[in-house]
Each structure stands twice: as structure tokens, then as C-alpha cells.
Structure 1
Amino acid sequence: MKITVFGATGGVGREVVRQALDAGHEVTAVVRDPARLTVPEHERLRVATIPDVTDEEALVPVLLGQDGVVSALGPSSNKQARLAPVAGPALSAIVSAMDRAGVRRLSAVSAAPLGPDHAQDGVLTRAVVMPLLRRALRDVYADLAVMEAVIGASGTQWTVVRPPRLLNKPGTGTYRRAVDANVRAARTIPRADVADALLAALTDPASSRHAVGIAT
């Protein structure tokens, strides 16, 4: 496949680029600062420098001829999300540019707190832990909620992946999945497993137009 990756310099984005190249795909990594892309040069890797990912006109050229798009974009902190939302504005431009470029398949990372609480999680988790988390990071989740709404209203064949807390650990390859739900007792997941889920979604018709909860 030919895949364009947004957010390629972040923790999940770098893993997406690495895994896609290892799987034999051709990758276009969209970055603001090429110096921050730590993935080694590769004959199937093209780096596209776009300072503003809300600039639809700049996005169309990096999407022409592609088979799929992965977005690993998201706010890095509550303060950033409050002052300058990232995911919502970026995905608004990306899905419009995809439509113009004729690219249909999209997977994007979101977060587990945007999904429904699992009925089998304990009362403490559902009544205390999750409400506190949603309140503490309300601006982050507000940005991601706008992103999900934009994606859901688009004409793309989209999949939103909702992980819990991300870890810098080797991928397990055995993470749990739940379509249109969160998995039970979702606590953590390695970034490498999130990248695997994002790439797998591009070729999984069953996940098209669904949110997928994942966790180890």
C-alpha cells in the first residue's frame, strides 16, 4: 500500500512509519520539522514538510495516489488543546483533502475516555476514576471529540482507534479489541500496539466506520 502518515514525529506516528516500512508499504511521512523524524532513511520513505496541517491546499499533493491515511495527530497537553486545538482542525482539513485526492481509507488515533464505560468495570472506575480523568484532561478530549465528529461526518471509510494510557514498551501483538466499545479493564497499551492497530484497520473492512477500543 501507499500510506500517508500524519503526526509522523510523535511516539505513535514513528511506530506507524517503522512498522509500515517493515511490512513493505510505501510511506509518506508528513512532518513540520524533518529533524524530529528519527526513522532512518529508506527507499520507500518520502518525507513531506508541511508546517500547517490545517492547510488543505498543501495536503492534497501528499495524498494524491495514496491508498490510505493514518493520523497519529493529537494534542500533547491540556494547555495546548485549550489554546490551540490540533486534532479537530487538522482532521477537518485532512478529510477534505482526501476527498479531493480520491483517497477513501483513514485510520486515526483517539482515546479510550471518548468511548463508553465498560459495564463490567468496577464502580470505582466508572464513578470516580473515569470522571476525574475526563475532567482533568477535558480540553484534550474536547479536541479529540471534535476530531471524531469531523471524521464521522466525512465520506471516508474511517476507523477511530481508542487506546488507554500509552507506554513506551515493545509491542505485545496480543492486545484486545472491542468494536464500538472499550475493552474491560483498559489501563495501558504500548505505542507499538496502537500503531499496529492503526495499520491493520486500513485493510480491515469490518472496522470501517467504527471506533475500536484497544488495550493490553
Structure 2
Amino acid sequence: MNLLILGATGRVGREVVRLALEDQHNVTAFVRDPARLGLSHPKLHVLKGDATQASDLLSAVKGQHAVLGALSTDGGSTLSISMPLIVKAMEKEGVKRIVTIGTAGILNSRENPEIFRFQSNESRRIMTRAAEEHLKAFETLKKSSLQWTVVCPTYLPDGESEGRYRVEANMLPNRGERISVCDAASFAYNQLADESYLYRRVGIAY
């Protein structure tokens, strides 16, 4: 598979790169600063670009079979600006499958499924800017023709994979408090070949 990974220098993105290379896929890591990736592999192509630039994304998407988006909000509007451009590039090139990393804040509230977690007292975060950015990206995907899945982890500490975790469509598993970067990345990566959560957000936690 030819796989494009956006946000490849982030914690989740870097782990997905590692998993995909282990499986001998052809990986394109789309990054702003190639020096930050610090990886080399015969099947790894590092592509420098800006996710807010349509021409950069179109070049990156060309020839791919699937896209995994692990872009952060970057403290601003990178995510909400880039997602419409990603969708447009994928639709133009006929690339259908995309798995993205969201946040548990955009899952439905368990107590009141009519609102999102970040709008309820289930979320411990005082600031909602990041969740609002992820929500805009999610709403863009919903309106697209792409085959999308949004993986929504809760608190993401570093650490080893535990290999066992809980997932739930559109909600965070009850009493879920954390999930390691490794396990979140592994689950997201596996969704590229699994349609169980097609057109769904997926909460993941231990």
C-alpha cells in the first residue's frame, strides 16, 4: 500500500510511520521540517510541505492508496484550514480512505448524546479551542465523499503498548481516562484495512 502520513513528526504520526514501515508499505511522510523526523528506510519517502497549501497537498496525495492524518491543531487553525484542502486533493486524485486522529472532546456526551463531550461536564479541559478545531475537521469529513474514520483518544501519555484497550463508536468508553500513544497509533493504523468504523468517530481508552 502507498500510504501518506500527515503530521508524521508528531507522537502518533511517528509511531504510525514505524508500524507501516514494519509492514513494508510505501510510506510518504509529509512534514514541514524533515530533520525532525530523524528516520530513514528504503520504503520511506520524506516530503517537505505545508498542510495549509493546496499545491503541496495535491502533490503529496498523488499516487497514494490511503491517508492517515495525525496533524495537531498547532495552537491555531492549521487543522481547520488543511482539512478542506486534504479532502479536495483526495477527491481530485480518487483516493478514498482516510483515518484521522481527533480528540475525545468531539465524541458525543454519554449523559447527553445531543452535545459533544467538550460542551459537557464530562470534559476536564477548560479551554475548548483545540476541540473546536477538531470539530471543524470532523464536520468537513462528514460532508465529503471520502471513506473516513476519526480515532478519538482521551489523555495520551507516552509509554509502552499495553495491547488491550476498549473502543466505542461515537463515545468514549465508560470511565476511560487514558490511552498510550503506541496503542492509539496502532488502532488508528489498523483501521486503514478495517471498515468496522467507517463513517464513525471512535473513542479509545483503557
Structure 1 and Structure 2 fold alike (TM over 0.5): yes
Aligned amino acid, residue 45 of structure 1: L
Residue 13 (structure 1) aligns with = 13
Residue 137 of structure 1, CA deviation: 2.4
Alignment partners' CA distance in 1, 2:102 and 2:81: 14
Q: 1:57 to 1:165 in 2, by over 3 A?
A: same
Aligned amino acid, residue 54 of structure 2: E
1:36 maps to 2:36: yes
Residue 118 of structure 1, CA deviation: 3.1
Taking the TM superposition and a 5 Å limit, the aligned residue runs for 1:23-102 are 23-38=23-38, 40-50=39-49, 52-76=50-74, 80=75, 84-102=76-94
Query: What is the CA RMSD across the aligned residues, in angstroms?
Result: 1.9
Query: What is the SS of the residue equivalent to 1:178?
Result: strand
Residue 71 of structure 1, CA deviation: 0.4
Q: 1:95 to 1:118 in 2, by over 3 A?
A: same
Residue 173 (structure 1) aligns with = 163
1:148 maps to 2:138: yes
Alignment partners' CA distance in 1, 2:18 and 2:9: 11
Q: 1:157 to 1:128 in 2, by over 3 A?
A: closer
Per-residue CA deviation, residues 123-161 of structure 1 (Å, 9 max, x unaligned), is: xx999853542xx22111111110110111111000000
Alignment partners' CA distance in 2, 1:10 and 1:85: 17
Residue pair 1:118, 1:183 contacting (<8 A) in 2 also: no
Q: TM-score, normalised by structure 2?
A: 0.91
Q: 1:131 to 1:178 in 2, by over 3 A?
A: closer
Instruction: List runs of 5+ in structure 1 lacking aligned partners.
Output: 120-124
Instruction: List runs of 5+ in structure 2 lacking aligned partners.
Output: 112-116
Aligned amino acid, residue 189 of structure 1: I
% identical aligned pairs: 32
Residue 184 (structure 1) aligns with = 174
Residue 194 of structure 1, CA deviation: 1.3
1:104 maps to 2:119: no
Q: 1:126 to 1:99 in 2, by over 3 A?
A: closer
Higher helix share: 1
Q: 1:65 to 1:126 in 2, by over 3 A?
A: closer
Query: What is the SS of the residue equivalent to 1:21?
Result: helix
Aligned amino acid, residue 73 of structure 1: L
Residue 114 (structure 2) aligns with = none
Q: TM-score, normalised by structure 1?
A: 0.87
Aligned amino acid, residue 138 of structure 1: T
Aligned amino acid, residue 193 of structure 1: D
Residue 122 (structure 1) aligns with = none
Alignment partners' CA distance in 2, 1:56 and 1:127: 32
